[in-house]
Amino acid sequence: MRKITQFRPGGSLVLVLFAVYMLVPLLATLNFSLTLGENYTTVAYEKLLRNEALFEALWHSLLLATLTVLGSLILTLPTLYWVQLKLPQAKPLLEFFTLLPFIVPPIVMALGLIRIYSSGPFPITGTPQILVFSYMMVSLPFMFRAIDNALQSIDTHTLTEAAQSLGAGTFTTLRYIIIPNILPGIVSGSLLVFSSALAEFALANLLVGSAWTTFPVFVSNVGRADGRQAAALAVISFVITWLVSITILWSANRAPGQNNISLNR
């Protein structure tokens, strides 16, 4: 036990360097947003808070991120559960699909989506719907990996059979057994999807643009006119993401039988 409590200069140095690397840009942005020449001022924040377009863009992005998380969950969770139970040979194919969003650049994807969805049976280019669906696609790897790891960390097969032998159907098993036991994976996947959807710019700008302004597009518009306000917006968006993450982690930790849920599990 002595070893664990011993001070390790090497380990601490790594931690300090990591903290510096992560915090310096954030603190610099905060500092920039609060200074005007030599003086500290909150004028950038005041201007922003008086701008109704900010709240509208923020609302759009929060709605978009929430719908993306829900859509991803509804698509990914039952699919992976089913594949794990009944069709393990389909797993490599699914993995290939989840890598596609990384391979195709956002601009190429946006052009492809515009081509397909400008006309035809689903003319949804320029509407928020196309953003939800394309975000689901782009963030698929995050949700897929998180839920797949979680499903593999429990004995999905035997737990399902145990539930079946007690009279549970597929939906009941998912609801009472599988979901509560993979909650850490669902939470971490949801957080990743939520924050990536909240921060996505390229697709939002190309597919919908000013027709339905999202928060990152708003930041970009403001940034062109006033860098200080853009910095203030970056700080605000960090705080929002952070608050949402804390809320989700806190609520997941209250689930019975789950100890120390963290992003790392």
Partner 1 sequence: MSFLVLNQLKKAFGTALAVDNFELEVAKGELVTFLGPSGCGKSTTLRIIAGFETCDGGQIWMNQQEITHLPANRRKIGMVFQSYALFPNMTVAENIGFGLKLAKEKPPIIKKRVNEMLSLIRLEVLAQRYPHQISGGQAQRVALARALAPQPQLLLLDEPLSALDALIRRSLRAEIRQIQQQLGITTIFVTHDQEEALSLSDRIVVMNQGRIEQIGTPFEIYNYPTTNFVASFIGTLNMLPARVTNAAKGEINLGGHTVRVAGPLSQSDNTEITLALRPENLKIVEVEEEGLSATENFVHAKVKEVSLLGAVVRVRLSLAEVLLELDMFNSRHLTLPVPGAEVKLSFPIDSGLILTKPNTTIP
164 forms part of the interface with partner 1 (CB under 8 A)? yes
* Residue 161 makes contact with partner 1 by CB under 8 A: yes
CA atoms of 70 and 203, how far apart (whole Å): 19
| Binding region for partner 1 (CB under 8 A) out of 139-147, 167-175, 215-223, 224-232 | 167-175
# residues contacting partner 1 (CB under 8 A): 22
Of the candidate spans 12-20, 129-137, 238-246, 253-261, the one that interacts with partner 1 by CB under 8 A turns out to be 253-261
Please give the radius of gyration of the chain, using alpha carbons only, rounded to the nearest integer. 22
Which one of residues 6, 89, 119, 165 is an interface residue with partner 1 (CB under 8 A)? 165
- Residue 126, interface with partner 1 (CB under 8 A)? no
Question: Is residue 256 a contact point for partner 1 (CB under 8 A)?
Answer: yes
Nearer CB in complex with partner 1: 118/153 = 153
CB 211 within 8 A of CB 60: no
Q: How far is CA 191 from the centre of its chain?
A: 4
> Closest Cα partner for 198 from 243, 228, 146?
243
**255 touches partner 1 (CB under 8 A):** yes
Residue whose entry in the numeric block shows the structure tokens 């719908």 = 67
Q: At 25, phi and psi to the nearest 5?
A: -60, -35
β-strand partners of 36 = 39
Contact status: 167 vs partner 1 (CB under 8 A): yes
Q: Could you say whether residue 172 binds partner 1 (CB under 8 A)?
A: yes
Residues 35-53 as b or e (16 or more Cβ within 10 Å = b): eeeeeeeeebbeebeeeee
The one-character DSSP state at 166 is: T
Q: Per-residue contact track with partner 1, 176 to 215, x per CB under 8 A?
A: xx--xx----------------------------------
Q: CA 35 to CA 31: how far, in whole Å?
A: 6
Binding to partner 1, residues 37-66 (CB under 8 A): none
Residue found by looking up tokens 């995050």 in the block: 142
* Residue placing its CB nearer to partner 1 in the complex, 36 or 87: 87
Q: Report how far residue 201's alpha carbon sits from residue 216's, in angstroms, rounded to the nearest whole number.
A: 5
Contact flags string 5-34 toward partner 1, x per CB under 8 A: ------------------------------
**Which among 97, 226, 81, 209 has a CA at the least distance from the CA of 157?**
81
For residues 177 and 230, which CB has a smaller minimum distance to partner 1 in the complex?
Answer: 177
In this chain, which stretch among 16-24, 91-99, 172-180, 232-240 interacts with partner 1, using CB under 8 A? Answer: 172-180
> Quick check: 116 binds partner 1 (CB under 8 A)?
no
Residue 95 CA from chain centroid, whole number: 19
Stretch that binds partner 1, among 17-25, 112-120, 123-131, 165-173 (CB under 8 A): 165-173
What is residue 127's DSSP assignment? S
Q: What residue ranges bind partner 1 (CB under 8 A)?
A: 154-155, 158-159, 161-169, 172, 176-177, 180-181, 255-258
